[in-house]
Structure 1
Amino acid sequence: MVKRHAALAIAFTGVIALLVAGPTAAFAEQEGDVVTQAVTNDNFADALPVDALPYSNVQDLTTATAEDGEPTSCFSSTRTVWYSYTPTTTRMVTAGTLPDYPGIAVYTGSSLDSLTEVYCRPAYGYTPVTFEAQAGTTYLFRTGASFSEQTTFRLDVAPDPEVDFSPPGWEPSIFDTVSFWPSIYDPAGLGIASVRWDFGDGTTTDDQYPRHRFNADGDYSVRLTAWTVDGRSASATQVVMVRTHDVSIVRLGVPSTARVGQSIGVTVNVQNTRYDETVEVRLYRNQPYGYQEVGIDTQPVPVQPAGKTVAFSFSYTVTAEDQAAGKITFRAVAALRPNRDALGADNELLSTPVRVN
């Protein structure tokens, strides 16, 4: 009973395989209880016509052979199949296989002994076959590999190049030089001939890896265009937001003298003429091995006309250590929260020394 069920299962599988194969099967060869389907486009004369693009066809090369008199060109194989294509318009086309290691040869001609080779990719060449197909000309494709089984042949209009780039991961200022890194690829395999960057501020460059500085704050639509060697092109656009955040400490006010135990006032004046900001000011005083933090204050600093400032007020109690040193020098450091200050050099200021009696 078990053997009978197994035989029925094998027979049923063979019927399903025949139905799936459809028009790709010219005849069936009985090998025990297993049915294998022979390819229909095994010979030049039986080349499968490609009616429309994109085209894809699957063949089992284990049932294919190489025809007597078949050209070897840049690859020879004991298993090959044929396709034909006659375009109605002149255009670039790309042929490939999956897996991508079988060889592909392209010819024109009406018989095996009159073929003219147009292009050939050897086995394990991996790159696609791309060429200009002339309207009204019939092209014959021979593809195969001695050690391949199921193979998919594909033919399509040559795709545009793939173009992209990443905008800066931060907001540059007018003082920053921005580096641009493109990601460009030609899936048709012919390669990239040239690129053009348009930075959206009236300037362009043909450098592949440009560095650019924007002269004013704003939102710039940066566009990258790439052309292949045969003229196909594609573009990518990213918006670069240029913002120049900048505050400065313009005054650090301290008394001229102080005594031990006295609480003295320290005032830090911050100027801001660009964008409303939140500013953090840290106050330090000198010690034998650098500076020690003695205060921190964070507050909004709105845009002010030139000459106007926002005051950060601190109180400091003079110590015996200060008296031993004979003087106190304060250091103020301002930082934007959460923005990046474009010119950090003017965010820091030292006071005149406070003499300790």
Structure 2
Amino acid sequence: MLNRQLARIAVAVPGVVALLAVHAAGASAATDAPVNDDLAGALPVGALPFANGQDLSTATVQEGEPSSCFETDRTVWYSYTPAETGMVTAHAGPDHLGVAVYTGDSLDTLAEVTCRPTYSGTPVTFEARAGTTYRFRVGANYAEQATFRLDVAPPPEVGFDVAEVEWSVFDEVAFWPRLFDPAGLGIDLGSLVWDFGDGTTSTEQFPRHRFASDGDHAVRLTARTVDGRTASATHTSVVRTHDVAVVKVNAPSTARAGQRVGVTVEVRNTRYDETVEIRLERSHPWGFEQVDAATKPVPATAGGGRTSFSFAYTVTPQDAAAGKVTFRAVAAVRDHRDALPADNELLSAPVRIR
């Protein structure tokens, strides 16, 4: 454009032809287009991964160049001939440039393989067949610089979330997958396979699973992209079933105001040695209130073994006014979550106050 303007000025003012010629030569040198400005000069891509940067500010568009899925007046070209068939991914940046892929040796014979418009935010991924030459058209009107990258399509990014707690065999554990395809083709959600590490599997997207036994279970999720690339993620779910039960609260059948009576609470534990707190509560017209508490080790025993907690209680005038008192024992496992809290409470038979 600058050269044509200078030429018109030279015709109008013949006396400055020599001076204008010097300036025109300098301007031409300063605005040389990239070496791969046209299809014939396409830069060959060698071994992958490949990266190359070009100045787009001086790039042009050939006459007859296809527009494909994006229009621009600045493009550069690359060519790639793979030795082996495989999925490849092309990126162009730093801005979101357009990338179009073709086969063919001339502008007249180009056949589009795939195309990414400007600002699409995704790479271009396709199957490159061994021995076939692919042409890449890269550009955007606003871009000053362009870096073209070509690499083997990466595997999908696979992960999943699960609550970081100590599970029990009574829990239904929920799993949430985290899936992303950096190549931009997407995950085949029908391909998901969950292996829960206990001999069971699932193909659901958001499974809920109940482990049959305690242990450290390596849960593995495998996912596949729509074009067949796969990846897996593993997380260990810790299953420990802590469970104690209050099985009996012994208290006298009768008592009188001011009398000190004994109350015994029996606890059953069959799984792990635990430290257990027992809160002893007594009834009153509005519910229950705590009157004592005790904490001690409760070993795991088989065959119905029990651990006893002993308490002493002095009958109050309020109990005498009510005519009876009932005791409630509430057990809590220290340092762990009780898997079945419903059996951690038990009432005594009412004690009649004479």
- TM norm structure 2: 0.89
Cα offset, 1:39, TM superposition: 2.4
Q: Which moved more, 1:143-152 or 1:87-96?
A: 143-152
Q: Which moved more, 1:53-62 or 1:106-115?
A: 53-62
Q: Which residue of 2 aligns with 1:299?
A: 296
Whether 1:188 and 2:188 are equivalent positions in the alignment is no
Cα offset, 1:325, TM superposition: 0.9
Alpha-carbon distance in structure 2 between the residues aligned to 1:55 and 1:248: 66
2:109 corresponds to which of 106, 111, 114: 114
Alpha-carbon distance in structure 1 between the residues aligned to 2:301 and 2:95: 66
- Corresponding letter in the other structure for 2:327: F
RMSD: 1.6
Q: Which residue of 2 aligns with 1:347?
A: 344
Alpha-carbon distance in structure 2 between the residues aligned to 1:179 and 1:225: 17
Q: Which residue of 2 aligns with 1:12?
A: none
Alpha-carbon distance in structure 2 between the residues aligned to 1:313 and 1:184: 56
Whether 1:214 and 2:211 are equivalent positions in the alignment is yes
Q: Which residue of 2 aligns with 1:338?
A: 335
Return structure 1 stretches of 4+ with deviation > 3 angstroms.
Answer: 35-38
Whether 1:123 and 2:115 are equivalent positions in the alignment is no
Whether 1:246 and 2:254 are equivalent positions in the alignment is no
Alpha-carbon distance in structure 2 between the residues aligned to 1:277 and 1:166: 30
Alpha-carbon distance in structure 1 between the residues aligned to 2:319 and 2:95: 79
Cα offset, 1:63, TM superposition: 1.8
Alpha-carbon distance in structure 1 between the residues aligned to 2:87 and 2:114: 13
Alpha-carbon distance in structure 2 between the residues aligned to 1:276 and 1:39: 76
Query: Cα distance 1:37–1:245, how it changes in 2: closer, same or farther (>3 A)?
Result: farther
Query: Cα distance 1:75–1:252, how it changes in 2: closer, same or farther (>3 A)?
Result: same
Q: Residues 256-310 of structure 1: CA distance to partner in whole angstroms, max 9, x if unpaired?
A: 1122222211111101011111111111111121111111111111111222111
Q: Which residue of 2 aligns with 1:66?
A: 61
1:197 corresponds to which of 194, 215, 226: 194
Q: Which residue of 2 aligns with 1:57?
A: 52
Q: Which residue of 2 aligns with 1:9?
A: none
Whether 1:98 and 2:90 are equivalent positions in the alignment is no
Q: Residues 13-34 of structure 1: CA distance to partner in whole angstroms, max 9, x if unpaired?
A: xxxxxxxxxxxxxxxx967xxx
- Corresponding letter in the other structure for 2:293: I
Counterparts of 1:40-51 in structure 2, within 5 Å, are: 40-51=35-46
Q: Residues 208-228 of structure 1: CA distance to partner in whole angstroms, max 9, x if unpaired?
A: 111111111122111110011
1:164 corresponds to which of 154, 159, 173: 159
Alpha-carbon distance in structure 2 between the residues aligned to 1:218 and 1:272: 19
Alpha-carbon distance in structure 1 between the residues aligned to 2:350 and 2:210: 41
Query: Cα distance 1:114–1:267, how it changes in 2: closer, same or farther (>3 A)?
Result: same
Cα offset, 1:100, TM superposition: 5.0
* Conservation of the 8 A alpha-carbon contact between 1:171 and 1:241: yes
Q: Which residue of 1 aligns with 2:138?
A: 143
Q: Which residue of 2 aligns with 1:311?
A: 308
3-state SS of 2:319 partner: helix
* Conservation of the 8 A alpha-carbon contact between 2:281 and 2:291: yes
Cα offset, 1:242, TM superposition: 1.4
3-state SS of 2:258 partner: coil
Cα offset, 1:166, TM superposition: 2.8
2:267 corresponds to which of 255, 270, 274: 270
- Corresponding letter in the other structure for 1:95: A
Query: Cα distance 1:291–1:37, how it changes in 2: closer, same or farther (>3 A)?
Result: farther
Whether 1:287 and 2:312 are equivalent positions in the alignment is no
Q: Which residue of 2 aligns with 1:14?
A: none
Cα offset, 1:320, TM superposition: 1.0
* Conservation of the 8 A alpha-carbon contact between 1:100 and 1:126: no
- Corresponding letter in the other structure for 1:238: H
* Conservation of the 8 A alpha-carbon contact between 1:285 and 1:328: yes
Alpha-carbon distance in structure 2 between the residues aligned to 1:348 and 1:278: 17
Alpha-carbon distance in structure 1 between the residues aligned to 2:304 and 2:116: 73
- TM norm structure 1: 0.88
Q: Which residue of 2 aligns with 1:134?
A: 129
* Conservation of the 8 A alpha-carbon contact between 2:33 and 2:60: no
3-state SS of 1:39 partner: coil
* Conservation of the 8 A alpha-carbon contact between 1:167 and 1:239: no
Give the gaps of 5 or more residues in structure 1. Answer: 1-28
* Conservation of the 8 A alpha-carbon contact between 1:57 and 1:153: yes
Taking every aligned residue pair, what percent have the same amino acid on both sides?
63
3-state SS of 2:48 partner: coil
* Conservation of the 8 A alpha-carbon contact between 2:274 and 2:334: yes
Give the gaps of 5 or more residues in structure 2. Answer: 1-24
Cα offset, 1:317, TM superposition: 1.4
